[in-house]
């Protein structure tokens, strides 16, 4: 008697789940058909944003954020990207403890003894300056602040200056910790005029 290979059957619960929860591609196609391309695009962007939010954060940036929060800084944004050039990024954007300065934080990490400022070469300084100028411009435009429009925009409008700080961290994973805070690499006052800051160092205890 000839035998035929039968395909494995999926259980009823899995099939019912698939009917209730269509794949992302199917959802987009359904929205495009019934609601138009604008709604379909919005669904796609929302799905991509949720994936980005679930991505694991860099342990060095987490350590720097914990360190600054302990000093009284308030988080305004993580991984803010310039609308002019998405490659230019601020690791953290914080509000100073007195509320007078918006602080762009660059996080640098290494395994051994080192000077954080040695990791910030001429090219990196140019990038950080562009981020500062672009963040200021985005605050004035209000349309380029991503999901942080209210808090970040309010802080930028009320700040007396915007500055760039550097936080040096050491270690890996859960053992990563901030070891030094260098303030005022750049400062841009309001009325906006560029100047190099009075660089101050704070060693972590």
Q: 3-state SS string over 115-169?
A: CHHHHCCHHHHHHHHHHHHHHHHHHHHCCCCHHHHHHHHHHHHHCCEEEEEEEEE
Inside any domain, residue 155: yes
Inside any domain, residue 195: yes
Model pTM score: 0.65
Cis, bond preceding 191 (omega within 30 deg of 0): yes
Residue by residue, pLDDT tens for the chain (205 residues) are: 554 444 444 445 444 444 444 577 787 788 788 878 877 787 777 777 666 555 567 888 999 999 999 999 999 999 998 888 888 999 999 999 999 999 999 998 876 666 767 778 899 999 999 999 999 887 666 555 555 557 888 898 889 999 999 998 887 777 788 888 999 999 998 755 445 555 555 555 5
Residue 120's pLDDT is 82
Residue 195's pLDDT is 52
Number of domains, the chain: 2
Alpha carbon 184 to chain centroid distance? 21
Q: Are residues 89 and 168 in the same domain?
A: yes
Inside any domain, residue 154: yes
Q: Are residues 43 and 110 in the same domain?
A: no
Residue 165's pLDDT is 95
Query: Which CATH number covers residue 119?
Result: 3.40.1350.10
Q: Are residues 121 and 162 in the same domain?
A: yes
Q: Are residues 24 and 109 in the same domain?
A: no
Q: Are residues 50 and 64 in the same domain?
A: no
Signed CA dihedral, 99, 100, 106, 111: sign only = negative
């Amino acid at each position: 008697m000839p035998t035929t290979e039968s395909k494995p059957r999926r259980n009823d619960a899995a099939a019912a789940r698939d009917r209730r929860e269509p794949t992302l591609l199917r959802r987009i196609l359904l929205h495009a058909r019934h609601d138009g391309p604008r709604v379909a695009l919005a669904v796609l962007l929302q799905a991509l944003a949720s994936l980005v939010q679930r991505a694991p954060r860099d342990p060095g940036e987490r350590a720097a954020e914990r360190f600054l929060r302990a000093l009284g800084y308030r988080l305004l944004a993580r991984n803010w990207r310039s609308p002019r050039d998405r490659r230019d990024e601020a690791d953290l954007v914080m509000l100073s403890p007195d509320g007078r300065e918006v602080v762009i934080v660059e996080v640098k990490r290494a395994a051994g003894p080192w000077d954080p400022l040695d990791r910030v070469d001429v090219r990196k300084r140019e990038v950080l300056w562009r981020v500062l100028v672009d963040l200021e411009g985005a605050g004035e435009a209000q349309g380029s602040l991503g999901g942080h429009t209210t808090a970040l925009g309010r802080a930028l409008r009320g700040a007396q200056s915007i500055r760039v700080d550097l936080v040096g961290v050491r270690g890996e994973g859960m053992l990563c910790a901030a070891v030094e805070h260098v303030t005022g690499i750049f400062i841009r006052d309001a009325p906006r005029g560029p100047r190099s800051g009075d660089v101050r160092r704070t060693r972590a205890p």
